Amino acid sequence: MKLLIRGGRVVDPGRAVDRVMDVLIDGDRIGLNGTPDRVVDAGGMLVVPGLIDLHTHLREPGFEYKEDIASGTRAAARGGYTTILAMANTQPVIDNRAAVEWVLNAGKARGVVRLLTVGAVSKGQKGEELAELGDMIEGGAAAFSDDGNPVSSGELMRCALLYARMGDKPVIAHCEDRSLAGEGLMNLGYWSTILGLRGMPWVAETAMVARDLMLAELTGGRLHLAHLSCARSVEMVKEAKARGVRVTAEVTPHHLLLTDEAVNTYRFDTDTRVNPPLRGEADVEALLQGVRDGTIDAIATDHAPHHLDDKEVEYAYALPGIVGLETTVGLVMSRLVDTGRLALGTAIRALTAGPAQVLGLDRGTLAPGSPADVTVIDPAREWTCDPSRFASKGRNTPFKGWQLRGQAVLTVAGGEVVHEGIA
Ligand code: DOR
């Protein structure tokens, strides 16, 4: 099928393109010319490479009551994502080749968008014994991570970086020193004191970032830092990049938009409970600056759906996590781009070419010949964040009720229209 997306503002940061032009989809590739079977008028719309999420918890197998491959990839399509990377903290954990192949096959069978998977660093994500990384690379694992848990053993992390390097895959680090994070429920600071909630200090993150940067330097392995939340982390990544350490980093929309004051503003709403926790103003500013200057390569959702039963409990008993696949475009467009805090091209880069580079994918661009992954965003569409309308089974977002502007109106993954309009 040939689909012509006509007259949109094409923003393709990987090629420094930002101008009104047509995009032709020819089968599963971006085409150059030919007579289209269908024409979509994209006047006034943004036409961007299909968004890529480096951090999605799909919960299948094991926690299908929270999310499954079908619902999670449907949510992705509605949010404008054409490729998502599933995390390995399922039940059982994705820690061997058969499990990796199972996820990839399930993605092909039931997934709406392209599904990639992480393989665990350690068997059962127990942090004790290295999983069979080489075997998982052969099975198609795109990266390795014990996300949800840190890799507390430095020696295990060193080995993971070395083994992953053989397949040129990144190790995605969930940086948390558990001895410092303790039983913390939110950022340690003014608000944790006022609210009387146990806090976790920012050093719980930065201590681990420092260790992992040095292990990346030692091994020459590729390190990707998940969900950075503190100013000092950004500073260290910048310095390490300048010295040639092979490191990339991501930040979530919630860490760019909220501070720990939200726990007070939303009166202990457990949807503000997330790991790493929401931090302070200076952290938010440093994270934004990190996206602007390229220290942070990607905005990733850390889509972490939980059941109502996991959230409608006292703050201390709530599981951490925020859903993000269906809110990220609206949040980034209305609260970061429209407000002048991020340039449009920078924001789109962090959602497309940036994450593609982290994984070494030939995606995240609209260059002719590239895979036909395209997202059309209506930057003027106003909508209210209403979790009851999500395709995701997860409803846990602190952004519920927010008035947003900007929404994906057409998502094409591998040449197939996987989302059109709003349901
Ligand atoms: O808030 C979080 N939720 N942080 C994580 O690292 C894990 C995630 C989850 O799996 O729910």
Query: Residue ranges of the chain with pLDDT lower than 50?
Result: 423
pLDDT, position 399 = 98
Q: Which residues line ligand 1 (CB under 6 A)?
A: 57, 89, 147-148, 174, 274-275, 304, 320-321
Q: Which residues touch 96 (CB under 8 Å, ≥6 apart)?
A: 119, 131, 132, 135, 136
Nearest Cα residue to atom 7 of ligand 1: 148
Atom of ligand 1 nearest to the CA of 226: 6
pLDDT reported for residue 423 = 46
Neighbours of 3 (CB within 10 A): 23
Query: What is the residue whose two structure tokens read 């201590």?
Result: 207
Q: What is the per-residue pLDDT for 326?
A: 98
Architecture of 50-368 per CATH?
A: Alpha-Beta Barrel (3.20)
Q: Is position 302 annotated as part of the catalytic site?
A: yes
Distance from Cα 39 to the centre of ligand 1, integer Å = 41
- Side-chain half-sphere CA neighbours of 339 within 13 A: 13
What is the pTM (predicted TM-score) of this model?
0.98
- Residue pointed to by tokens 């569409």: 381
Give me the catalytic one of 68, 297, 302, 373. Answer: 302
pLDDT in tens, 407-423: 999 999 999 999 998 54
Q: How many CB atoms within 10 Å of residue 109?
A: 9
Delimit the domains of the chain by residue range: 50-368
SS3 state of residue 274: coil
Residue 156 Cα to ligand 1 midpoint, Å, equals: 21
Nearest alpha carbon to residue 43 among 423, 415, 409: 409
User: Which of 56, 87, 147, 392 best tests ligand 1's pocket when mutated (most atoms within 8 Å of CB)?
Assistant: 147
Closest ligand 1 atom number to CA of residue 176: 6
Angle (nearest 5°) at CA 405 between 323 and 30: 80
Q: Name the region of 373 (left: φ>0; alpha: ψ -120 to 50; beta: rest).
A: beta
224 with 175: CB under 8 angstroms?
Answer: no
Element (H, E) at 56: strand 51-56
**Which pLDDT value is given to residue 220?**
98
- State residue 404's pLDDT score: 98
* Secondary structure element (H or E) that encloses residue 212, with its range: helix 203-219
CA dihedral 168, 142, 210, 185 (to 10 degrees): 180
